[in-house]
Amino acid sequence: MKKRMIWIAGSVLILLSAALLGAGNYFYNVAINRSHDPVDLYSGEAQTASAALEEETQAKLEEVMKWTEEQTFDQLEIASEDGLKLKARFLKNPDSNGKAVILAHGYKGNSGQMPGITKYYYELGYEVLKPDARGHGESEGDYIGYGWHERKDYLGWIDLLKEEIGADSIFLHGFSMGAATVLMASGEDLPPEVKGIIADSGYTTVHEELAHQLKHIYHLPSFPLMQVTSVFAKIRAGYSFNEASAIEQVKKNELPLFIIHGDQDDLVPTDMAYEIYEEAGGEKELWMVPGAGHTDGYTVAEQEYQERLKEFLDSALVH
């Protein structure tokens, strides 16, 4: 009888372990493995804009897209530390006087996005570099790094702007995963040409953000699935969820930092913005955009966004 119980318990343990490993592999493939398939992310209850607001937003978008089509974007390329070919779109500006910005897109995004803020930076006299993150767009890579490995890639893009373009005043501006990328980059040894960092809707750590998504999409607790999936990530992508931390990186930041977050953001909880702000080193500013969801600040409050951004840029340039 005792042997039978041991056999049953062992069989159950093996089955549970196999199920857990299968689940970890599944979540790795869904969340981290490169794929062109769209992913449904939890972003709270959908909010319906008024017909007038939708019409106004659509009109602005059409204007921006028309302007974008009239521009000539060059394609630039660098090699990452691990040998990947990374590509970016670059918009030269004859009025830049050495000013440049690197715009970082979000999860499953690409360098063709962010047209509104691209146009605004150009109007301010900045040259604009828009990389495809590894595992996205035209860049190589078979996994998504959620900003962790991308932070080192950005050192390469910064060097390119310095050495090949002649930029001497560089800003990093990211949205969502791109915001986490520039926050993580803030803890690296950045050259003096980098003057400031703007993070719109960034998360604290990969572990906390994926646990948030797991809870709301699958209604599952983070333990032990997150730990198992993190092991898969460490083996297959070279990083763990806990080490990929914007929080730990911003503690080392010494540059002016502008944190932007919608106060209605449910995809990346607003608590994360406050935590990042509290932990960040250097001069810092936090703007919670009233009525804005995830990365909606520029759409919801375009004029104020532009005014606050310009004030930050001008101040950082004379810092």
Whole-number Å distance between alpha carbons of 128 and 21: 43
Does residue 3 belong to any structural domain of this protein? no
Q: What's residue 74's pLDDT?
A: 97
The token pair at 42 is 């939890």
Q: Please state the rounded mean pLDDT for residues 261-277.
A: 97
* pLDDT at 36 > cutoff 80: no
Confirm if 142 and 34 have CB atoms less than 8 A apart: yes
Look at the block and give the residue holding tokens 């936090």: 286
Whole-number Å distance between alpha carbons of 113 and 261: 19
Report the number of distinct structural domains present in the chain: 1
Question: Which helix (DSSP H) or strand (DSSP E) does residue 169 occupy?
Answer: strand 169-175
Does residue 185 belong to any structural domain of this protein? yes
Q: Please state the rounded mean pLDDT for residues 184-208.
A: 98
Name, in order, each residue with C-beta under 8 angstroms of 137's C-beta and a sequence gap of 6 or more: 87, 109, 110, 111, 112
- Reply yes or no: is the peptide bond before residue 224 cis, omega within 30 of 0: yes
Q: How distant, in Å, are the alpha carbons of 12, 158, 162 from that of 167?
A: 61, 9, 5
The token pair at 300 is 């919801």
Length of the chain: 319
Q: What's residue 56's pLDDT?
A: 79
Does residue 142 belong to any structural domain of this protein? yes
Confidence band, pLDDT 50/70/90 cuts, at residue 9: very low
Confirm if 140 and 85 have CB atoms less than 8 A apart: yes
- Bridge partners of 127, per DSSP, are 100
Q: What's residue 220's pLDDT?
A: 83
Confirm if 53 and 301 have CB atoms less than 8 A apart: no
Confirm if 111 and 85 have CB atoms less than 8 A apart: no
Does residue 226 belong to any structural domain of this protein? no
* pLDDT at 218 > cutoff 90: no
Q: Please state the rounded mean pLDDT for residues 291-304.
A: 96
Range of the domain at 300: 66-205+244-317
Q: What's residue 18's pLDDT?
A: 66
Task: State pLDDT tens for residues 71-116.
Answer: 999 999 999 999 999 999 999 999 999 999 999 999 999 999 999 9
Confirm if 294 and 265 have CB atoms less than 8 A apart: yes
Task: State pLDDT tens for residues 220-251.
Answer: 888 888 999 999 999 999 999 999 999 999 99
Q: Please state the rounded mean pLDDT for residues 185-199.
A: 98
Whole-number Å distance between alpha carbons of 92 and 249: 31
Whole-structure pTM value: 0.92
DSSP string, 264-289: T-TTTTHHHHHHHHHH--SSEEEEEE
CATH no. for residue 271?
A: 3.40.50.1820
Does residue 155 belong to any structural domain of this protein? yes
Q: Please state the rounded mean pLDDT for residues 165-181.
A: 98
Lowest mean pLDDT among 38-47, 61-70, 136-145: 38-47
Whole-number Å distance between alpha carbons of 101 and 79: 20
